[in-house]
């Protein structure tokens, strides 16, 4: 059975905060089995802990922000996606500010960092959330569904009134390899007029063409262009992987989204956790089998990969 994993050793980096423009130090170190991902504000003397769970989400506009006892950390989603994408269940993350550094706007630098640290297997089996019945949320023409499936896959559709993005659709069959190859490098993006408004509000101070794909009405302003022609929808998948990881366990199910974003992803995560009859906690027996773990109703075998 797959066992939980943490990072094998402590590793550090620093980067710029997208909103504050400040230099931020980030330390990732091993955590115990069942600890999950725990953030620590290392700039505050009491070093408050903020666990990366849906209950601690306090804001979802532009980025996902978690908080505990008034201490917050924003833009957690790309780092959480890297942990989830590399199947790291447990880690402690020290951040010297109220946001995770933006790095290059993708999850690739975090993937690189975590791989440098290496993974360490722990003496505890990994539990999964297997979706048994559809769980759906909608907001106008935006939707985010989790549907029963024998493996984790993400199908995302976006549509923007902009000729560079237009309509894009992508299906990710989740695996560490596919995450690294197809999703991890996709950068966050924004429109020039929006970026200017944010800067006027004192936000996005650290936003540059080094960490955001910026579009005007007709084109990409970054000199080197895009990393994939459908980089936008791939980044939306990256965000969704980070946001859904706040459910607390990896998912066995099909995430289907139209024009979803942090807010709807989070609404879905909360709805999943509130509807205990629509999922079950399982342990995967092998690559092919899922064993029913909770409630001891006997065994349930189904293929998973
Ligand atoms: Zn993002």
Find residue 172's DSSP bridge partners. 154
Question: Distance from the CA of 89 to the center of ligand 1, in angstroms?
Answer: 20
Q: Look at residues 152, 110, 133 and name the one whose alpha carbon lies nearest to residue 14.
A: 110
The catalytic residue among 62, 235, 254, 262 is 262
CATH number of 128-304: 3.30.1700.10
Helices (H), 164-293: 176-178, 192-200, 231-244, 262-274
Active site residue 262: yes
Q: Which residues, other chains included, contact 226 with Cβ-Cβ below 8 Å and sequence gap of 6+?
A: 213, 220
23-72 per-position pLDDT tens digit: 999 999 999 999 999 999 999 999 999 999 999 999 999 899 999 999 99
Instruction: Please indicate whether residue 230 or residue 19 has the higher confidence score (pLDDT).
Output: 230
Structure tokens at 116: 């440098």
* Domain limits, CATH 3.30.230.20, in the chain: 3-125
What per-residue confidence (pLDDT) applies to 287?
Answer: 53
234-249 per-position pLDDT tens digit: 999 999 999 999 999 9
Structure tokens at 101: 């550094």
* Domain limits, CATH 3.30.1700.10, in the chain: 128-304
- Distance in angstroms (rounded) separating the CA atoms of residues 191 and 263: 19
What per-residue confidence (pLDDT) applies to 29?
Answer: 98
**In this model, does residue 292 exceed pLDDT 60?**
no
Categorize the per-residue pLDDT at 198 as very low, low, confident or very high, splitting at 50, 70 and 90.
confident
CATH architecture for segment(s) 3-125:
2-Layer Sandwich (3.30)
Question: Distance from the CA of 142 to the center of ligand 1, in angstroms?
Answer: 17
pTM of this prediction exceeds 0.85: yes
Question: Distance from the CA of 1 to the center of ligand 1, in angstroms?
Answer: 32
**In this model, does residue 288 exceed pLDDT 90?**
no
Question: Distance from the CA of 189 to the center of ligand 1, in angstroms?
Answer: 8
């Amino acid at each position: 059975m797959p066992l939980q994993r943490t990072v094998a050793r402590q590793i550090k980096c620093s980067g710029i905060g997208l909103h504050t423009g400040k230099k931020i130090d980030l330390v990732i170190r091993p955590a115990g089995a069942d600890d999950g991902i725990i953030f620590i504000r290392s700039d505050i003397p009491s070093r408050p802990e903020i666990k990366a769970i849906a209950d601690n989400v306090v804001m979802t506009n532009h980025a996902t922000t978690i908080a505990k006892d008034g201490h917050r950390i924003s833009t957690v989603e790309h780092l959480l996606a890297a942990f989830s994408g590399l199947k790291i269940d447990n880690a402690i993350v020290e951040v010297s500010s109220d946001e995770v550094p933006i790095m290059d706007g993708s999850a690739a630098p975090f993937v690189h960092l975590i791989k440098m640290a290496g993974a360490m297997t722990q003496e505890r089996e990994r539990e999964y959330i297997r979706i048994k019945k559809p769980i759906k949320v909608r907001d106008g023409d935006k939707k985010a569904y989790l549907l029963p499936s024998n493996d984790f896959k993400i199908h995302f559709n976006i549509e923007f009134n902009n000729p560079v993005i237009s309509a894009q659709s992508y299906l990710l069959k989740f695996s560490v390899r596919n995450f690294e190859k197809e999703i991890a490098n996709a950068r966050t993006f924004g429109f020039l007029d929006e970026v200017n408004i944010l800067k006027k509000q004192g936000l996005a101070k650290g936003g540059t063409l080094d960490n955001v794909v910026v579009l005007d009405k007709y084109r990409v302003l970054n000199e080197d262009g895009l990393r994939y022609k459908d980089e936008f929808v791939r980044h939306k998948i990256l965000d969704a992987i980070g946001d859904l990881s706040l459910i607390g366990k990896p998912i066995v199910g099909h995430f289907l989204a139209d024009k979803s974003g942090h807010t709807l992803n989070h609404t879905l995560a909360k709805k999943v956790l509130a509807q205990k009859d629509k999922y079950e906690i399982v342990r995967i027996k092998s690559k092919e089998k899922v064993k029913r773990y909770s409630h001891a109703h006997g065994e349930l075998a189904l293929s998973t990969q």
